[in-house]
Amino acid sequence: MTETPDTIVVETAEKIFADLADAQSINSDKTGSWKAPLWQALSDSGLPLAWVPEDCNGSGASLAEGFAVLNAAGRAGLAVPLAETMLAGWLLAQGKIASPEGAMTVAPVHPKDRIALAADGTLSGRARGVPFAQDARHIAVLAHSNDIAVIALVEAAACRIDHGLGVGGDPSDAVTFDGVTPLTFAVAPQGFDQTALLLIGCVVRSLQIAGALEALLEISVAYANQRVAFEKPIAKFQAVQHNLARLAGETSAALAAATSAADAISNATTFDDAVMLEAAAAKIRCAEAAEKGAAIAHQVFGAIGFTSEHILHRYSLRALGWRDDFGNESHWAVALGRMVAARGADDLWPLVASR
């Protein structure tokens, strides 16, 4: 079978994850010595800047290729800022700004946070829950000057970063821009706004959640077939079979919603209502699946799954934590409802059927 470019990119990523991001090895490493070799391998492969055109110092991969890599990163429970650097590079590319080397992140990631660009060219405002800000060299910022969206590249060292941890144990920091002068900035393309950034962020997190659920399903099924109780594997018990079937259903639903949204954005020319429907619905469904799937997986494993020594939490807690980035399911349910109401009842079915 002939390999297509997207399969080659994904296979490269999966090999790096398998070689340098093994969950059990990372879980046993208390010094964090695994991070540098992993990031170096990712950088050498060009994956962090996959969404950056070649004329902006990137790899020039398609959105579809990058989305597939992020789904694989979710399956690996990846704990380095690959998704954040890819998204930051994509945002900078919208303003034709070249991406620097090293880890990056993007701000803001919450719908109510807003960064302002003053007349003197400095940034002000505060962004909460910025993933991996403490590990990033640069931050790609979507700011506003009056009603004009502006994309800016900022040195992380120029900002005040209050360290925090997300549910999954990864950095989730508050970043304060207090008169920070960006290295460079550019006016965003016509029609590009904070909602567009949040929507693509929704798809990124949805794909990661779906990938984490795939990993949860795989290790839960394997454990159920190995764990013996009353002289037979627990997978033979009807209650366990029922739970595993429910987990498989949640995983399939999340993967279908996430990949559909990724396909919609990959083939869209603008962030229109169709993209809004797909991305918001994916984030809502994947968030629900994360909650249900994590509970089922931990129930299958029993008390052993809650221990820090076990790898289960590497996937379940990250899936739960990713629900809040770029707007949680409650925010997008309200936004989706308002969009549907504004379009009117007669336009609902044609919009849904067109997908």
Span 275-295, pLDDT tens digits? 999 999 999 999 999 999 999
Under 8 Å between Cβ of 297 and 220: yes
Buried b (16+ CB within 10 A) or exposed e, 146-181: eeebbbbbbebebbebeeeebbbebbbbbbebeebe
- For residue 176, the cross-strand partners are 126, 160
Q: Would you give the DSSP letter of residue 269?
A: S
In the chain, CATH 1.20.140.10 sits at 194-353
pLDDT tens digits, 110-137: 999 999 999 999 999 999 999 999 999 9
Tokens matching residue 12? 């490269």
**What fold is seen in the domain 194-353?**
Butyryl-CoA Dehydrogenase, subunit A; domain 3 (1.20.140)
Measured between alpha carbons, how far is 108 from 179 in angstroms, rounded to an integer?
16
State yes or no: pLDDT of 306 exceeds 80.
no
Strands (E), the chain: 104-107, 115-117, 123-131, 138-145, 148-155, 160-162, 172-180, 184-187, 228-229, 232-233
pLDDT, tens digit, 9 for 90 and up, residues 30-85: 888 999 999 999 999 999 999 999 988 888 899 999 999 999 999 999 999 999 99
User: Where in the sequence of the chain do the CATH 2.40.110.10 domains occur?
Assistant: 5-187
Task: Give the pLDDT of residue 2.
Answer: 44
pLDDT given at position 345: 82
**CA-based nearest residue to 328, from 128, 85, 106, 83:** 128
Architecture of domain 5-187: Beta Barrel (2.40)
pLDDT at 229 (0 to 100): 83
Q: If residue 86 lies in a helix (H) or strand (E), which one and from where to where?
A: helix 82-94
Write down the residue that tokens 């993209």 correspond to. 275
